[in-house]
Amino acid sequence: MIAKFGGHLGVGISGLISFSLVVLAVIAVNHLTGFNIFLFGLWVIIPAGALLTGVAATSGYYFGGLYFHTRPTWFLFVQIVVAAATAQFVIYYGEYRSLVLDDGTMASDAIGFWDYLDGYLRSMHIRTGHGGHIDTGEVGDFGYWLAVIDFIGFMLGGFFVFFMLQNSPGCWKCSRYLRKISRTAQMFADHGQFAEYYDTLFKHPVGSKAFADLMKGSPKVRKPAVDTVMIASDLLGCTHCNTQLLTQNVEILGKKGWKDIPKLTRHVRLPDGVDLRQVVKPF
């Protein structure tokens, strides 16, 4: 119970740190350059800046969860949602408190926060065209809708972090997160050779010499050409109970680069007592 509480506390502190650092960074950049990162959008309605800022502000919960082996719960979900929801307003308030008027007066001494925010949102500009060279002028009441769009972006960023944490591979015995132990990759210029490897690998007992020989085999592909197939194998393990998971992802080289083949991705739980650290090694 104490360990579980300590894990949640550690995750909460990690999230608070990332939240504070990102908020301060956004305020500092805006103060020094006049550019507000989270206001950057694509085609007006896509809050790209807010989405990325929301992800960054709540990233501490993700990394804290992995580090402290704390699986996502409703309580963690609430923390992430609150952090994402309040980040936008904390940034607004921080910019308000740090704004100095032309006569040297602090904005906070001359006007209330809500009046400042009303004027700020109404006086926003939308820039369009290549490089944003077309200024449509002040948006007026539409500034509130832009703020709502940015708020949605922050929330989606928080949801994304929770989703990533929820879907990170974990140990099926003790619920801890798995750590990546090693990675290897094999390339096949011949599709038939790849298909034979892919179809027969797990027909051999995991941990057998035949299995190890196939995993260690590396067809000679000096320079990958179009249609070359690559299979990347990641070995993940639990530091507590030593269980292991083998993940394989397949990619094929096209004219525009490597393309993932999701339907060929597989995750295989290894039997108890099987250790593939000497098998899954970089060539």
Count the neighbouring beta carbons within 10 Å of the beta carbon of residue 176: 18
The span from the CA of 279 to the CA of 213, in Å, is 8
Name the more confident of 169 and 227. Answer: 227
The span from the CA of 228 to the CA of 220, in Å, is 12
Query: 192 pLDDT exceeds 70?
Result: yes
Instruction: Give the pLDDT confidence score for residue 199 in this predicted structure.
Output: 93
Q: What percent of the chain has pLDDT over 90?
A: 18
Instruction: Give the pLDDT confidence score for residue 149 in this predicted structure.
Output: 82
Query: 71 pLDDT exceeds 60?
Result: yes
Task: Give the orientation angle of helix 48-67 with respect to helix 2-33, to 10 degrees.
Answer: 150
The span from the CA of 36 to the CA of 28, in Å, is 9
Contacts of 129 (CB under 8 A, 6+ apart): none
The vertex-25 CA angle with 90 and 77, nearest 5°, equals 55
Instruction: Give the pLDDT confidence score for residue 240 in this predicted structure.
Output: 81
Instruction: Give the pLDDT confidence score for residue 61 in this predicted structure.
Output: 86
Q: How confident is residue 145, by pLDDT bands cut at 50, 70 and 90? A: confident
Over residues 34-63, the pLDDT tens digits come to: 666 666 655 556 777 778 888 888 888 888
Q: How confident is residue 246, by pLDDT bands cut at 50, 70 and 90? A: very high
SS3 category, 14: helix
Count the neighbouring beta carbons within 10 Å of the beta carbon of residue 30: 19
Name the more confident of 34 and 253. Answer: 253
Cβ–Cβ < 8 Å for 225, 187: no
Query: 155 pLDDT exceeds 90?
Result: no
Q: How confident is residue 228, by pLDDT bands cut at 50, 70 and 90? A: very high
DSSP state of 171: -
The vertex-166 CA angle with 164 and 168, nearest 5°, equals 65
Q: How confident is residue 251, by pLDDT bands cut at 50, 70 and 90? A: very high
How close are the terminal C-alpha atoms of the chain, in Å? 43
Partners of 183 in beta bridges = 234
Q: Judging by beta carbons within 10 Å of its beta carbon (0-12, 13-18, 19+), is residue 107 exposed, middle or buried?
A: middle
Instruction: Give the pLDDT confidence score for residue 264 in this predicted structure.
Output: 93
Over residues 89-135, the pLDDT tens digits come to: 888 888 888 777 777 777 777 788 888 777 777 776 555 544 444 55
Name the more confident of 2 and 124. Answer: 124
Query: 217 pLDDT exceeds 70?
Result: yes
The span from the CA of 53 to the CA of 92, in Å, is 13
| Beta pairing class for 134-138 and 125-128 | antiparallel
Instruction: Give the pLDDT confidence score for residue 141 in this predicted structure.
Output: 66
What rounded mean pLDDT belongs to the chain?
81
Q: Indicate the helix (H) or strand (E) that contains 112.
A: none
Query: 209 pLDDT exceeds 50?
Result: yes
**pTM summary value:** 0.65
